[in-house]
Every structure is written in C-alpha cells, then in structure tokens.
Amino acid sequence: MKNKLSLVFIFLFSTLIYAQKLKIKEGSFKSLKDIKEYSLIFDYSNLEIPKFDSEEDFLKDKMDKREEKEAGSGEEFKKSWFEDRENRYEPKFIESFNKRFEDNTVNVNKRENSKYTMVVKTTLMYAGYNVGVWRQNAKIEATITIFESDNADKILFSGDYTKIEGNGAMGYDFNSGYRISEAYAKLAKEFAKNLKKKGLK
C-alpha cells in the first residue's frame, strides 16, 4: 500500500512539474467568443533549440553525426526535419483542435479566406529521445496570436504556451517527428480547452 501511494505521489508531482502553462500577453479569450473559423498560419522563424546557439547549429551537429555512420543520412534527417512540419505537426494540431468542438462549431484550417487569422509561432522545439531504456519527451513552446485577417494590428488574443510535452505509442515513440507532433496535438488541446472554458461561455 505504501509503495502504491509513493507511486501516486511521484506521478502527481511530475504532472505538476510538467503541466502546461499559459501567459496571456494581449487581449482575452472573451474577445474570441463569436468566432467560428480561423485561417491558420504556422511560423517557425528564429526557432530556439535547447543546448544549441541556433537551429542551423543543431542541424549541422545532427547531420554530421549521421554522416559519420552512413553517407546521405544527414541530408535525409534535414529533409525530414522540415517536411515533418507540414506533414506531421500542422495536421496534428488541426485535427486535435477541431475534434474538441462538436458539429464543427469552431474550426481552424489552412485556407486563407477566414475573417480571423490564428498564428501559431513555435518559439522552442526539443525533439526528446527514445533509446529503449532511456527516453525523454519532446517539448515545444509557442505563441498563439489571433487577429482580424484584414487588420493584423488588431490583435484579439496573444498568449505564450510553455511546457508542452509530446509522447505516445505506449512508450514506443522512437520517431522524433512523431513525438513532436504529439506536442502539437497537446498544444491544440490546451488552447481549445482554454477557449471553451474562458471564451465561449
């Protein structure tokens, strides 16, 4: 019984440590109350990678290590690093957000004809790792900003999300792109939850 209680305490403690955090910079969720559709833009510029001075330094390090083992594998890594954005992260965010709203009452999409625009700017990305015995979740941080599509200066909401972690597949998440995509799913889930709780009531 004592061991079970210890495990519960450890789980709750770790949940508290890694709980997602939101800091509203401008506007409020109430400003989004009557909006039913958003045109979605993803921004990865000036991306911070922990332990590296820049994304370019990160890519060089990872590519060089792969090239030492197998010629051409470095370029393959770089290609997938960028392609995963459109192929994995963005669809996962859209799917996760839209499924939180019944009957499509609110939705996001990458079309450019909506009255309102939502920008998801990723400010930090950490791929994590899984080598079987040892693993660490992927992590992202992002700023979500919403404005009128015809007037980008009219910001209705802007908030920083931190401590967003991604993992899945019951621990068999060996692919870094998959782990990161799960972080985007969680980001969308958190934003949708905040919107429903604070903006749509």
Rounded Cα distance, 38 and 101, in Å = 13
Query: Does residue 5 belong to any structural domain of this protein?
Result: no
| pLDDT value of residue 172 | 52
71: exposed, middle or buried (Cβ count in 10 Å: 0-12, 13-18, 19+): exposed
| pLDDT value of residue 200 | 76
| pLDDT value of residue 11 | 37
In tens digits, what is the pLDDT along the chain, a chain of 201 residues?
Answer: 444 444 334 333 443 445 679 999 999 999 999 999 999 999 999 999 999 999 999 999 999 999 999 999 999 999 999 999 999 999 999 999 999 998 889 999 998 899 999 999 999 999 888 776 677 889 999 999 999 999 999 999 999 999 999 877 555 556 788 899 999 999 999 999 999 998 776
- Range of the structural domain that residue 37 is part of: 22-199
| pLDDT value of residue 14 | 40
Query: Does residue 102 belong to any structural domain of this protein?
Result: yes
| pLDDT value of residue 83 | 97
| pLDDT value of residue 6 | 45
Q: How many CA atoms lie within 13 A of 9 on its CB side?
A: 6
Say what the pTM is: 0.87
Query: Does residue 2 belong to any structural domain of this protein?
Result: no
Query: Does residue 6 belong to any structural domain of this protein?
Result: no
Query: Does residue 12 belong to any structural domain of this protein?
Result: no
Query: What CATH number is associated with residue 73?
Result: 3.40.50
Query: Does residue 145 belong to any structural domain of this protein?
Result: yes
The encoded tokens of residue 49 equal 């990678």
| pLDDT value of residue 32 | 96
Query: Does residue 9 belong to any structural domain of this protein?
Result: no
**Which residues are bridge partners to 120 per DSSP?**
42, 144
**Helix, strand, coil abundance in the chain, percent, nearest 5:** 45, 30, 25
Rounded Cα distance, 67 and 82, in Å = 18
Query: Does residue 121 belong to any structural domain of this protein?
Result: yes
Number of folded domains that form the chain: 1
